[in-house]
Amino acid sequence: MPTNGSKRILILGGGFAGLDAAQQLEKIFSKDDNVEITMVNQDNYLIFTSMIAEVVASSIDAKHIVIPIRECLSKASFKELEIRDIDLEKKVVAGYHFHSSEVFKLEYDYLILALGSMTGYHGVPGAEDYSFPLKNLSDAMILRSHVIDMFEYADLETDPELRRRLLKFVVVGGGYTGIEVAAELNDFVHSSRRFYKNIKADEVKVLVVDPGTRIMHEMSEGLADYGLNLLRKRGMEFLLQTRVKGVAEDRVEFQDGNHVETKTTIWAAGTSPQHVVGQLPCVNERGRIEVNEYLEVLNYPGVWALGDCAQVPDAKTGKPFPPTAQHATREGKRVAYNVAAAVKGKDQNKKAFKYKTMGMLAPLGHRSAVAQIMGLKFSGFFAWFLWRSIYLGKLPGFDRKMRVAIDWFLDMFLPRDIIQLKFLMRPKQSPPSDQ
């Protein structure tokens, strides 16, 4: 980064929170050449994660839910690096470039930490090795190819019991992510089964496992029960109040001693902080960065944190704000305002972050959903239409909106793609060659 006396603002993370902060800072300092804004992210695109389950189910093309970060920035510069170290005392960040295997050091005057989170396995034995996470685009593509591979394998198998194990898909986690992927997957596997003549309908099953007493605990109890009953009618199974003890290549074991035999375990049971965030001296026992109501990192002037990696206090409830996209985008705008106040030497103008959740929506597949918006509750087709309308509007870029809208339109009339991309699958051990 140039050292010409300019004020250097460094943003780590290119998700919803980081990108909104960068774009807002661009507007504020659009005519100020003495302020340099740099964003760093390990990928050069933003994933619209709210639609990632539909990539698994082949209802949306994977490329249509990713947005090039460089297209979203005008004044700010972008660097594709994996953050390896953050020195808050020396104000230096070390980033690793995969292709060159080189480490680049970036100095800053003001730092915004928006590094998000990673899949949290919570110490469950075998979960990281044998389950499929669903955090990024490659996770979705790998899972999709694996599901199709299970159908191809099952179509060749003559043992009905083995076919059932191959076609049992277990989703660990009954929150929004788990239910969304389970519902979309249920639609996908049952609509795809007709292409496999040796597979019977009762051999295909999607199972959701959750330690809670109900699914989608963030949603109202009535809507959660509606979703549970609806998905059960579509043939899905649920194991509630059940904790996972371990995951193996061919089974999921539960703490009550029971187990389910399966070749596909999908892990949607929460998140954990990025490793580089967990090494910072300002994180709490949960591994999240402690900030005040201005999103300032405690005891480190000139550093702000937001999004999934931060614990942002809600003055009204005394609890942290939930790590959702709607909060992250608002936090990004507030951080940008407060950083600008600090750059201009007007700390007295900074504002606390305040936000009331507008609502929650959860798609249930098969043109149905549940929604809770401004105290009003909706379910069924109207909630599904509402979900698609709202999220299509939030999708950045007119071209992406058009592509996703066309995907959705075609999905109503055309069969879903079952092409298996083997180069995206996990490597398997080759059979021994004949001597």
In whole angstroms, give the CA distance from residue 70 to residue 45: 8
* 93 token code pair: 């960040």
Q: Which two tokens stand for residue 239?
A: 């194991």
**In the beta sheet, which residues pair with residue 158?**
none
Stretch among 139-143, 315-319, 345-349 having the lowest mean pLDDT:
315-319
Token pair recorded at residue 374:
């401004």
Segment 354-369 shows an average pLDDT of 90
Mean pLDDT of 356-384: 91
Separation between Cα atoms, residue 82 and residue 84, nearest integer Å = 6
Residue ranges of E strands in 4-150: 7-12, 35-41, 45-47, 66-68, 77-80, 82-87, 92-97, 102-107, 110-113, 117-119, 132-133
pLDDT number for residue 432: 52
Across-strand partners of 35? 7
Contact (Cβ atoms closer than 8 angstroms) between residue 8 and residue 38: yes
Residue 372: its pLDDT value, please? Answer: 92
pLDDT for the residue 378: 94
pLDDT confidence of 295, banded at 50, 70, 90?
Answer: very high
pLDDT for residue 240: 96
Contact 252, 170 (CB under 8 A): yes
Length of the chain: 435
Q: Return mean pLDDT, the chain.
A: 92
Dist CA 108 CA 91 (whole Å): 6
Q: Is 60 exceeded by the pLDDT of residue 317? A: yes
Determine the pLDDT at residue 91.
96
Strand 92-97, strand 66-68: pairing: unpaired
Residue 1 is predicted with a pLDDT of: 47
Q: What is the pLDDT of residue 101?
A: 87
CA distance 36 to 29: 9
Of 345 and 426, the structure prediction assigns the larger pLDDT to: 345
pLDDT at 312 over 90: yes
Main-chain phi, psi angles of 25, to 5 degrees: -65, -35
Sign of the CA dihedral running 210, 216, 220, 225: negative
pLDDT (0 to 100) of residue 435: 42
Confidence of residue 428 (pLDDT cuts 50, 70, 90): low
What pLDDT is recorded for position 424? 66
- The CA-to-CA distance between both ends of the chain, in Å, stands at 60
> How would you label 391-428 residue by residue, b for 16+ Cβ within 10 Å and e otherwise?
beeebbeeebeebbeebeeebeeeeeebeeeeeebeee
Report the distance separating Cα 323 and Cα 309, nearest Å. 8
Do residues 391 and 51 lie in contact, with contact meaning Cβ atoms separated by under 8 Å?
yes
Mean pLDDT of 304-332: 91
pLDDT of residue 20: 95
Q: Which residue has the higher pLDDT, 315 or 171?
A: 171
Same fold? 7-42+81-118+272-349, 127-269+359-415? yes
Mean pLDDT score, 336-353: 94
127-269+359-415: CATH topology? FAD/NAD(P)-binding domain (3.50.50)
* C-alpha–C-alpha distance, residues 69 and 62, integer Å: 16
Greatest CA separation for the chain: 80
The three-point CA angle 143-79-98 to 5° equals 55
**Cα–Cα distance between 351 and 111 in angstroms, integer?**
18
Between CA 278 and CA 331 the distance in angstroms is 21
Residues 37-76 pLDDT 10s? 999 999 999 998 889 999 999 999 999 999 999 999 999 9
**Per-residue confidence (pLDDT) for residue 364, from 0 to 100:** 95
Considering only CA atoms, which of 240, 231, 250, 273 is closest in space to residue 364? 231
Q: How far is CA 338 from CA 21, 70, 304, in A?
A: 10, 24, 9
- CB 274: neighbour CB atoms within 10 A? 21
Write down the CATH number for the domain with range 7-42+81-118+272-349.
3.50.50.60
- Residue 6: the pLDDT is 86
pLDDT in tens, 238-282: 999 999 999 999 999 999 999 999 999 999 998 888 999 999 999
Domains of the chain by residue range: 7-42+81-118+272-349, 127-269+359-415
Model confidence pLDDT, tens digit, residues 197-251: 999 999 999 999 999 999 998 889 999 999 999 999 999 999 999 999 999 999 9
Give 8's contacts (C-beta < 8 A, 6+ positions apart).
1, 36, 38, 107, 108, 109, 110
